[in-house]
């Protein structure tokens, strides 16, 4: 299984583009995969709501930094 961990902060506009590209590339590999998004305390106006197969969204209530966001994704 391939796991792609994407930490983000206030990226509501650019994340759908990244996710679409990832889904296309990962499907091409013909292997089982998951995309783990870690919201590192984005503003309420920037909250992401996506319903995509193999996508998991984890959220920090407040900003903790990229390292902690990556750790959250790995531990999950």
pTM assigned to the model: 0.84
Q: Let me know the angle formed at the C-alpha of 6 by 4 and 1, rounded to the nearest 5 degrees.
A: 10
Residue spans per domain, the chain:
2-75
The whole-number average pLDDT for the span 54-75 is 91
Instruction: Give the pLDDT of residue 23.
Output: 92
Residue 30 CB partners (closer than 8 Å, separation 6+): none
- Other CB atoms within 10 Å distance of the CB of residue 36: 19
For residues 49 and 4, give the distance between their C-alpha atoms in angstroms, rounded to a whole number.
18
Instruction: Give the pLDDT of residue 22.
Output: 94
pLDDT, one tens digit per residue, over 6-60 is 999 998 889 989 999 999 999 899 999 999 999 999 887 666 677 778 899 998 8
């Amino acid at each position: 299984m391939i796991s792609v961990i994407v930490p983000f902060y206030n990226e509501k506009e650019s994340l759908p583009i990244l996710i679409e590209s990832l889904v296309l590339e990962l499907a091409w590999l013909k292997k089982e995969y998951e995309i783990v998004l870690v919201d590192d305390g984005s503003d309420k106006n920037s909250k992401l709501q996506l319903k995509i197969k193999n996508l998991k969204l984890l959220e920090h209530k407040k900003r903790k930094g990229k390292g902690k966001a990556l750790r959250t994704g790995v531990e999950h």
